[in-house]
Structure 1
Amino acid sequence: MMRKRILILALSSLAIIVFVFATLTQGIEGNGKKIEITWQTFDKGVELAKKEKKMLVLDIYTDWCHWCKVMDKDTYGNPEVVKYAQANLIMAKLNAETDKKFKFKEGNYTGQQLSMMFGVEGFPSTIFLNSEGEMITSISGFIPADRFTLILKYLKDNWYERMKFDEFVKKNKS
């Protein structure tokens, strides 16, 4: 009876150790470095998107926004999202409440002014711009990582010009 308890305790401990290790190493490359999105400021992001002819994904947030923090951790921290974003996109962050001015098109605008220009009504808001700085679309609210990856592929490869998003999702279910 005692051996059985010790065996159960040992197996339970091993399972916990494996779970903790797997959780801690999620999002870590083979060389042991944690992979993260390289975030740009808004104006630098616009400049890089144009130079590299890539889509710009703009995360508009506030410091007090709970769901902004959840999206940072769960969506932008997801290894699949990170790898896709790093390889294919320019990623920028903009605090909607900053007084700092950013150059965009023919003017200089604060975070609040840019948020209003993009029609932001809540946080987080994700704005998708083409390489010329023209808005493709925007999404208000938290976006789970699996859905976000589909959205990125849909927009980056211009599928929105050929089919509705729901059709794209059905076509890409695997």
Structure 2
Amino acid sequence: MSWRVRPCLFALPLLVLSVPSFAQVAWIKKYDDALRQAADQKKFVVLDISASWCPYCRKMAREVYPNKEFIDFSRAHVFMRFFLDTDAEGRRLGRKFNVRGFPTIVVLNVKGEEVGRLVGVRGTRKLIRDLEAIFDESSLYGDPQNEAPEPVQPERESTPAPVKAVPASSPSPKPAAESAPIKTEPKDPIADLEKKLASAQDGSEKNWLTLMLALAHFESQHWKEARVYVGRVLEKEPDNPGARELMKALDKMEHP
């Protein structure tokens, strides 16, 4: 081998090591892990809840999240991303944080309390600015006065209070305790959405709940029911992008 070739060969491993690996946002897969990491590293949690059929969500996934400026920005906090229609964790968090449109980005402090949210598509610079504004205006540790009750308090105020108040004087605590899990709901997301739709007053809320019902039926592979609900949305909003994308997905499922 020529002596002139050897320096090049020796330099090759150094060159390979110097090439950076493909950079991307370090998405955390589990909610509890994200909160733990946020507490350990003193960071906010940024939770993106999207849908696989949502065109605006795809646009952000294609143009914003791979952007180097956003990737560099994301390292300062903890980021999560779920699809409400395909991820069980996404469905759970969508219900927990009452997600009503896509994409929705929820910002949480280290206790898991919501401190801000963004709804709708944004470009890289706009998303960074809006998130920074939420970070600047929010407390990483929440309101000190709420430290004892913590974020679970809102759910527990209505049920345990009567249970603790009655035991000493009346035999009725058992029925109250037994009814508490029923109030917690929703084991069946379709039944829960139907109940909410029946009591909804606002037209836009009804349309959104109808679309969510279509999505819930789509997840359960109830193609006929999903098509019925999507059709109702499109009757009132023919240009609704989510409904149109879901209808396309239904066409593909029924006529692959």
Partner of 2:92: 113
Q: Which structure 1 segments of 5+ residues have no match?
A: 1-29, 101-109, 162-174
Question: What's the CA shift for 1:98?
Answer: 4.3
- Which of the numbers 103, 117, 120 marks the counterpart of 1:138? 117
Shift of 1:112: 2.2
Percentage identity across aligned positions? Answer: 25
- Residue number in structure 2 paired with 1:148: 127
Q: Which of 23, 27, 31 is 1:35 aligned to?
A: 23
* Per-residue Cα deviation, 1:78-103 (whole angstroms, up to 9, x for no partner): 211110111x1101112213463xxx
How many residue pairs get aligned? The number is 121
Unmatched 5+ residue regions in structure 2?
1-17, 140-256
Query: What per-residue deviation string (whole Å, max 9, x for no partner) do you get for residues 23-64 of structure 1?
Result: xxxxxxx83533210111142222211221200111101221
Alignment of 1:152-163 (within 5 A): 152-156=131-135, 158-159=136-137
Aligned 8 A contact 1:37 1:85 in 2: yes
Report if the CA contact (8 A) 1:55-1:131 is conserved.
Answer: yes
Q: 2:61 pairs with 61, 72, 82, which one?
A: 72
Distance 1:73 1:99, change over 3 A: closer
Give the TM-score normalised by structure 2: 0.43
Separation of aligned partners in 2, 1:128 and 1:120: 13
Q: Offset at 1:123?
A: 1.1
Please give the root-mean-square deviation of Cα atoms over the aligned residues, in Å.
Answer: 2.1
TM-score, with structure 1 as normaliser: 0.62
Shift of 1:160: 5.5
Q: What letter matches 2:55 in structure 1?
A: H
- Whole-Å Cα distance in 2 between the matches of residues 41 and 131 of structure 1? 17
Q: What is aligned with 1:19? A: none
Contact 1:35 1:82 in 2 (8 A): yes
1:89 corresponds in structure 2 to 77
Checking the alignment, whether the CA contact within 8 Å between 2:115 and 2:138 is kept in structure 1 is no
Letter in 2 for 1:96: L
Query: Is the contact made by 1:56 and 1:129 (CA closer than 8 Å) also made in structure 2?
Result: yes
Q: Kindly state the Cα deviation for residue 118 of structure 1 after the two structures are TM-superposed.
A: 1.1
Q: Report the CA distance shift for 1:154/1:90 in structure 2 as closer, same or farther (over 3 A).
A: same
SS of residue in 2 equivalent to 1:39:
coil
- Contact map agreement 2:105 2:117 (CA 8 A) in 1: yes
Q: Does the 8 A contact of 1:96 with 1:115 survive in 2?
A: yes
1:55 matches 2:5: no
- Bigger helix fraction: 2
Q: Give the superposition deviation at 1:115.
A: 0.8
